[in-house]
């Protein structure tokens, strides 16, 4: 979901990384939605050349996706096609998380992998040859070392092939739309309708078989030829595919001649989501339960097809135990202890059991974490009485009269409406007026609208923090000749602000990405 302060925060990131000109084009797309090149030129009042160059920068860094909208005429007059550009809000805000991604790779893989990923994050998209050239100029690493690091990142799904440059997107026909609505009414379709951004991203994404395939690119040798030994294809079918593409490239064809790679943001967010779930479990259960829960995540990660998976694939008790004993700390846990931990994890239902199988309930864990985060905000901002009222209304799930709220929370009846009005004024509560003999107030928590409101507040705070950090950095440059003590105090202040940014970003991920 894109909120108003979310847009401001995203534009601020683009401004800091690419300047005002690129940011102006990006903001136009974020606020107005998908546009053609001509429409962007009219809206921004920039020249066509300026808009083109800005779009190329944004596409290079995976912040904008071009697509062709195939619209069939209403009177059967044929299809109308136009190239449009859409800003990828989710990808834009991930730019602030690049240090988290690098830290993750440094813990799971090695230094060479970190350096290779750093180049991809810095340049957006690179061919394998460009990665080799960059490694040679920087650390004088051998080609074998670079390719080994590349394969490690690819096997871990931390990098992927770039999406199609201009996927074709078709609007659903009237018959398809009517069928979807009928299915929704009958309860057959319960999922939320995809946004246009999600549809474009899905249409541009390579197939799963091709997305992580390293068989279409070879590294030039010293004599200018192609070294086929660098291909990581392992089957005869892949080898034939590789040879066909190579001969096509040598004949002057452009398709698949240069394969571009980029960081796989989805995989990084999936790891961060799992980490957040583990920390949530750690706060409630003992170490044994945490180890069992972590083993379940590790065993089912590869089966997750999207980041916001609601439930993991089911695992048998034996499969879970087999995964548990793969780790050093897990080898101290007995089979019965694993069974007992699964019983623990079922209340609250972080793990669901059915037919002798167990699956992780991601949706429940994330919703509980979001609920606790909102309660924490209410407690800090409005006090303990307001916290008790909010908690009561949130847990009840229905409208309650003012007097009933006061009685249930043991707050004075004179103070209760004052506190409730504060929460309502700041969009934390929903107010309705009931009528018996006289009008009376009814209160409830609308969790869906509240989630959007809280996220917008978080983006607002993140925007302000980023502005303040930028100001502090400018002050440090200006005070380079000032006394050492003042410079140290400035540095401490900036580090504290940056630490607050990191914590706030964790909360934003909880509401937006997880």
The tens digit of pLDDT for each residue in 293-326 reads 999 999 999 899 889 999 999 999 999 999 999 9
pLDDT of 177: 60
Q: Is the pLDDT of residue 22 over 80?
A: yes
Question: Looking at the DSSP assignment, which residues form a beta bridge with residue 168?
Answer: 68
pLDDT of 138: 67
Gap between the Cα atoms of 389 and 41, Å rounded: 51
Identify the weakest region by mean pLDDT among 70-74, 115-119, 129-133, 266-270.
70-74
Class of domain 265-360: mainly alpha
Quick one: which of 332, 322, 271, 267 has its CA closest to 299?
Answer: 322
- Residue of higher predicted confidence among 229 and 80: 80
Q: Is the pLDDT of residue 470 over 50?
A: yes
- CATH, domain 377-445, list 1.10.10.10, 3.40.1280.10, 3.30.479.30, 3.40.190.10: 1.10.10.10
Count of C-beta atoms within a 10 Å radius of residue 354: 8
Where exactly are the structural domains of the chain? 4-92, 265-360, 377-445, 454-479+486-513
DSSP string computed for 31-78 = HH-SB-HHHHHHHHT--HHHHHHHHHHHHHTTSEEEEEEEEE-TTS--
Q: Where does the pLDDT of residue 106 fall: very low under 50, low under 70, confident under 90, or very high at 90 and above?
A: very high
What is the pLDDT averaged over residues 24-40? 96
pLDDT of 94: 95
What is the pLDDT averaged over residues 483-488? 70
pLDDT of 39: 96
Express each pLDDT in 160-212 by its tens digit: 999 999 999 887 666 656 665 555 454 443 344 568 888 999 999 998 888 99
Gap between the Cα atoms of 85 and 68, Å rounded: 9
Sign of the dihedral defined by the CA atoms of residues 289, 299, 264, 196, in that order: negative
Same CATH fold assignment for domains 4-92 and 377-445: yes
pLDDT of 76: 54
What does the DSSP 8-state code read for residue 349? Answer: B
The mean pLDDT value of the chain amounts to 85
Quick one: which of 1, 85, 4, 78 has its CA closest to 44?
Answer: 85
- CATH, domain 4-92, list 1.10.287.3510, 1.10.10.10, 1.20.1250.20, 2.102.10.10: 1.10.10.10
- Report angle CA 324, 330, 333 to the nearest 5 degrees: 100
């Amino acid at each position: 979901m894109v909120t108003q302060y979310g847009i401001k925060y995203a534009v601020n990131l683009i401004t800091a990384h690419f300047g005002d000109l690129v940011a102006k084009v990006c903001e136009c797309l974020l606020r107005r939605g998908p546009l053609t090149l001509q429409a962007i030129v009219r809206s921004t009042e920039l020249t066509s050349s300026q808009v083109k160059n800005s779009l190329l920068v944004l596409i290079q860094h995976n912040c904008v996706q071009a697509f062709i909208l195939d619209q069939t005429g209403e009177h059967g007059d044929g299809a109308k096609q136009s190239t449009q550009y859409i800003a990828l809000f989710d990808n834009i805000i991930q730019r602030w998380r690049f240090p988290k991604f690098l830290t993750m790779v440094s813990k799971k893989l090695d230094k060479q992998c970190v350096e290779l990923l750093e180049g991809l994050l810095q340049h957006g998209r690179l061919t394998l040859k460009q990665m080799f050239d960059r490694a040679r100029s920087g650390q004088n690493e051998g080609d074998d070392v670079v390719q080994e690091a590349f394969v490690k990142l690819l096997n871990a799904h931390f990098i992927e092939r770039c999406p199609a440059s201009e996927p074709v997107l078709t609007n659903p026909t009237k018959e398809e739309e009517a069928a979807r609505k009928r299915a929704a009414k009958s309860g057959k379709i319960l999922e939320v309708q995809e946004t246009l951004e999600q549809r474009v991203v899905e249409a541009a994404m390579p197939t799963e078989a091709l997305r992580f395939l390293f068989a279409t690119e070879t590294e030039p040798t010293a004599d200018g030829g192609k070294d086929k030994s660098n291909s990581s294809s392992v089957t005869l079918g892949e080898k034939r595919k590789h040879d066909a593409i190579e001969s096509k490239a040598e004949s002057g064809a452009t398709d698949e001649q240069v394969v571009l790679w980029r960081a796989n943001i989805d995989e990084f967010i999936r790891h961060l989501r799992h980490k957040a779930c583990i920390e949530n479990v750690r706060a409630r259960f003992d170490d044994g339960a945490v180890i069992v829960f972590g083993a379940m995540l590790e065993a089912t990660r590869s089966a997750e097809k999207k980041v916001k998976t609601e439930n993991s694939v089911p695992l048998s008790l034996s499969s879970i135990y087999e995964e548990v004993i793969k780790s050093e700390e897990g080898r101290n846990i007995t089979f019965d202890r694993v069974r007992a931990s699964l019983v623990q994890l079922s209340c609250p239902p972080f793990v669901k059991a059915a037919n002798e199988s167990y699956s992780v309930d991601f949706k429940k864990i994330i919703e509980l974490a979001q609920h606790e985060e909102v309660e924490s905000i209410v407690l800090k901002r409005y006090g303990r009485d307001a916290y008790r009222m909010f908690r009561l209304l949130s847990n009840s799930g229905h409208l309650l009269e003012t007097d009933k709220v006061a009685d249930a929370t043991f707050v004075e009846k004179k103070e209760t409406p004052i506190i409730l009005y504060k929460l309502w004024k700041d969009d934390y509560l929903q107010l309705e007026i009931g009528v018996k003999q006289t009008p009376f107030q009814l209160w409830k928590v609308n969790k869906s609208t509240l989630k959007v409101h809280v996220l917008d507040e978080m983006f607002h705070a993140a925007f302000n923090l980023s502005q303040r950090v930028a100001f502090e950095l400018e002050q440090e440059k200006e005070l380079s000749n000032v006394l050492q003590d003042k410079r140290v105090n400035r540095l401490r202040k900036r580090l504290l602000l940056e630490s607050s940014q990191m914590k706030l970003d964790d909360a934003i991920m909880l509401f937006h990405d997880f």
